[in-house]
Structures are given as structure tokens and as C-alpha cells.
Amino acid sequence: MAIAPDVLTTLAPQPYKALRDEVRDGDILLCSANDRFSRLIRWATKSPWSHVAIAFRMDEIDRVMVLECVAKIGVRAVPMSSFLARTSGGIEPYPGQILLARHKGMSAQTRRQPMKRMARFAFDRLGNPFSQAEALKIGLRIAMGRFERRMPPRLGPKDEFICSEYVARCLKAVGLEVPWDGLGFIAPSDFASDPRIDAVAQIET
């Protein structure tokens, strides 16, 4: 069952402190924000979802980390408390709402070894910056998504990603595909439409 369009109004926000111990490796954070770049993504996809990121627990240092791909920076890792407090551009408080979600395929106990493959893919791309040419490719993919044009292979992501393309590649590392229509780019809304991804909780920002 896909995530309902009205989930952010029907699911009451909960404090992060109450949810922190429930966060699992590979959990998905779906965001609906109102800053400039977020509005662009929402415009392109005609949906409320503007950003997606992925969570990993680092219990050895008592941290829950969020990995995300953001404009101008590329792939970065931040503590979840920071992710919830402000945008990558420093807008504080966070201008929107954040949903904790989980792929059904991540629940199996047998995924411990595959999880290492996901983590290696995710962390190996930390710090990948965008060149001007890569940023242009991203802009073209966004525009093509808005106007429902199929993406030519030459415009597909290599080491530069829109946030949702990055998280989709993390899931693909453990054999989980996010279905999409091939138009423009894999978008945050494609995660919300995936019947294998469930809403867990709305986190207070």
C-alpha cells in the first residue's frame, strides 16, 4: 500500500527523542519543505514531496546519521538531530514536515550482510561534489520530469545525483528497486508511491 497523500495531516508528529530508538538502518526520510530548491522539486513532480534521505545507526558512537545528496554540496552525512533542525542551506527551523518511512524489504533479519553493501555504497560517495556540467544535467532531468519527457541515457546520473536518485541507488545495492516511469528522474514522490514503503511516523521539526 502506497503512502497516503494526506499522511502528513492524519499522522500526528512525534518528538524525535520518542522515536530515536525505533530508527533502523536503511530507513527513509521523506520531506515536504518550502525552501526554494524544495519548491522546484515539488513543481517538477507535482507532489508534496521535495526531498528524501536515508538513515544509518552508528551505535558505537551513539549517533543516528542521515545521508543525503543536496545541491551545491553533493553527498553528505549529518546527525539526524541536525537534519531535523535545519536545511542543508542553513534555514532554521526546518521549513516543512518530515516522515519516517521503511521499505518492507529491509525488515528481514537476513539482511545484515546485504546491509554492508548498502552502507559501502552510501558512505563511499560522501563528499562527491557537483561540477557545473553535473549540475546542468540535474537541472535538465528535473525539467524533463515536469514535462513528462523520457530521460535519455546520456543524462542519467553517474556520480552526481538528485537526492532521490542517490537513495534509490543505495536501495538497489541490496536488490531493492524503486519503481518509476522513466520520465525525467526518480523523484521523492516515487518512494511515496511504492507499495512496499510504509509510513512509520511523522517526526516533529
d(CA 116, CA 93): 33
Q: What is the mean pLDDT of residues 174-191?
A: 86
d(CA 96, CA 87): 10
Is 58 part of a structural domain of the chain?
Answer: yes
pLDDT of residue 127: 82
pTM for this model (two decimals)? 0.88
Q: What is the mean pLDDT of residues 144-159?
A: 71
- Most confident region among 102-106, 109-113, 185-189 by mean pLDDT: 102-106
pLDDT of residue 202: 98
Cβ 78 vs Cβ 65: under 8 Å: yes
Contacts of 154 (CB under 8 A, 6+ apart): none
Is 185 part of a structural domain of the chain?
Answer: yes
Is 132 part of a structural domain of the chain?
Answer: yes
What residues make up the domain containing 166?
A: 7-203
CATH code, 187: 3.90.1720.10
pLDDT category at 109 given cuts 50, 70, 90 is very low
Count of domains observed in the chain:
1
Is 162 part of a structural domain of the chain?
Answer: yes
pLDDT category at 83 given cuts 50, 70, 90 is very high
Question: If you average pLDDT over every residue of the chain, what do you get?
Answer: 86
CA 40 remoteness from chain centre: 16
Is 1 part of a structural domain of the chain?
Answer: no
Residue 162 gets the label, from left (phi > 0), alpha (psi -120 to 50) or beta, of beta
Is 103 part of a structural domain of the chain?
Answer: yes
d(CA 205, CA 184): 30
Cβ 70 vs Cβ 163: under 8 Å: yes
pLDDT of residue 113 exceeding 70, the answer is no
pLDDT of residue 5: 87
Cβ 70 vs Cβ 125: under 8 Å: no
